[in-house]
Amino acid sequence: MTAEYQVTIEPLGREVTCREDQTILDACLRAGVWIPHSCTHGTCATCKAEVLEGEVDHGEASSFALMDFERDEGKFLPCVARPREDLVFEADVDVDEDIPVYPVEDYAGTVVALEDIALDTKRVVIEIDRDLAFNAGQYMALSVPGHDGVTRTYSMANPPSETRRLEFQIRRTAGGLATDGWIFKDLAVGDAIALAGPYGRFVLREDRSEPAIMIAGGTGLAPIAAMIRHALLDDVDSVGTLHLYQGARTREWMYDVDHFRQLEAEFPGRFVYRPCLSEEEAEGFATGMVTDVLNADHETLKGHVGYVCGPPAMVEAALKTLMLKRLFPRDIFKEEFLDMSAAATQVRSPLIKR
């Protein structure tokens, strides 16, 4: 029989039951208790917390995300740690009361559409067995077949009003267990997929009425697409004008351009679209790094809010540009898209909300 332990989360004072074979983050999220998290694989340090009472098994926590001296000080990563006994821990819980918390649950899905949309990039649409409630920008964990307990996380590009048909935009990672070894190898329409969620806090702030600068690189477009579709198609009129800067090296890496141009035509004054190519000139596209185009377009961004998602280098450059344009860190929300090898070496900036 699998042992169960009582886990208390401070400063909330909330208590949840966690199995000895279950991660502490999973137990919290399934009980509807939100604690910070991002990668869910022990590599980004977003969820780092401190043991006050009890002991944990650190699991597969990266030595970059959780250093030896931090372990000695009682720090741990709830996304991969499991309890060894009853536990009390303190998390950096910055709860935004305006963002709903939806408990993580398991779902059974079927692939209903599979499409090549750009170089090494697929759109995967999964129909799930029941309605999913989530915030625009959140992600799901997909179980990798043949690898018990192994998951990979992908953001949903569909708005929350689409509760059963989930769209994922997935880029191939050379040698990747989930991409090269499954999704880009032999995944087919009709295949069954087990998935769980929703996860993440990189979501549309519906209480922010300022104009929004949204910067997306590669498949970092997915969560931002969900935010845009939610704001426009679900008629969330509380948010300000959305400006999407979509960046890619060349046209073959860019996708859904016609879709966003159509939205721009349908919602004048509410949505502005700026596709940018850094290594190619093409009609209808701005030329240059997405940050250079943004820099030239705006003398200042004071009074705006920022959303940034994409590869780490692009995210870092975008953060610097936004702050140079007088956007404060508290007004910038970001998510880095990392493959498993890159994630292990990343150090998270403590200034920017996820």
248 and 339 in a single domain? The answer is yes
pLDDT attached to residue 343: 46
Annotate 167-184 with DSSP letters as a single string: EEEEE--TT-TTIIIIIT
Residue 295 sits at φ, ψ, to 5 deg, of -60, -40
pTM of the model: 0.88
pLDDT attached to residue 347: 41
**Listed residues 176, 199, 222: the one ending a domain:** 199
Residue 108 sits at φ, ψ, to 5 deg, of -105, 130
> Which among 7, 13, 53, 48 is positioned nearest to 30, based on CA atoms?
7
195 and 216 in a single domain? The answer is no
CATH number for the domain that contains residue 169: 2.40.30.10
Residue 95 lies in a domain: no
127 and 45 in a single domain? The answer is no
CB 139 within 8 A of CB 72: no
331 and 228 in a single domain? The answer is yes
pLDDT attached to residue 7: 97
111 and 191 in a single domain? The answer is yes
The Cα–Cα gap between 46 and 150 comes to 20
Residue 204 lies in a domain: no
pLDDT attached to residue 339: 63
The Cα–Cα gap between 345 and 319 comes to 19
**Listed residues 141, 168, 199: the one ending a domain:** 199
The Cα–Cα gap between 217 and 309 comes to 6
151 and 69 in a single domain? The answer is no
Residues 6+ apart with CB under 8 A from 273: 244, 246, 260, 261, 263, 264
Residue 27 lies in a domain: yes
> Which among 93, 52, 44 is positioned nearest to 343, based on CA atoms?
44
Residue 124 lies in a domain: yes
Residues 6+ apart with CB under 8 A from 351: 329
* Helices and strands: H and E segment counts in the chain: 7, 19
235 and 322 in a single domain? The answer is yes
216 and 195 in a single domain? The answer is no
Pairing of strands 305-310, 56-57: unpaired
Number of domains present in the structure of the chain:
3
The Cα–Cα gap between 72 and 57 comes to 13
CATH number for the domain that contains residue 17: 3.10.20.30
The Cα–Cα gap between 169 and 183 comes to 11
**Listed residues 151, 166, 199: the one ending a domain:** 199
Residue 235 lies in a domain: yes
18 and 64 in a single domain? The answer is yes
pLDDT attached to residue 349: 36
Annotate 91-131 with DSSP letters as a single string: ------TTS-----EEEEEEEEEEEEEETTEEEEEEEESS-
**Residue 247 burial (CB count, 10 A):** 30
CB 107 within 8 A of CB 130: yes
Residue 243 lies in a domain: yes
Sign of the C-alpha dihedral computed for residues 27, 31, 35 and 40 taken in this order: positive
48 and 160 in a single domain? The answer is no
Per residue of the chain (354 residues), give pLDDT as tens. Answer: 889 999 999 999 999 999 999 999 999 999 999 888 888 888 888 899 999 999 999 998 988 899 999 999 999 999 999 999 999 999 988 767 778 989 999 999 999 999 999 999 999 999 999 999 999 999 999 999 999 889 999 999 999 999 999 999 999 999 999 999 999 999 999 999 999 999 998 999 999 999 999 999 999 999 999 999 999 999 999 999 999 999 999 999 999 999 999 999 999 999 999 999 999 999 999 999 999 999 999 999 999 999 999 999 999 999 999 999 999 999 999 998 766 554 444 444 333 333
pLDDT attached to residue 338: 67
Instruction: Quickly list H helices, 168-256.
Output: 221-233
Residue 354 lies in a domain: no
Residue 165 lies in a domain: yes
pLDDT attached to residue 98: 77
Q: Is 292 left (phi over 0), alpha (psi -120 to 50) or beta?
A: alpha
CATH number for the domain that contains residue 311: 3.40.50.80
121 and 190 in a single domain? The answer is yes
- Domain with 261, as residue range(s), is 212-343
Residues 6+ apart with CB under 8 A from 317: 289, 291
Q: What is the CA radius of gyration of the chain?
A: 20
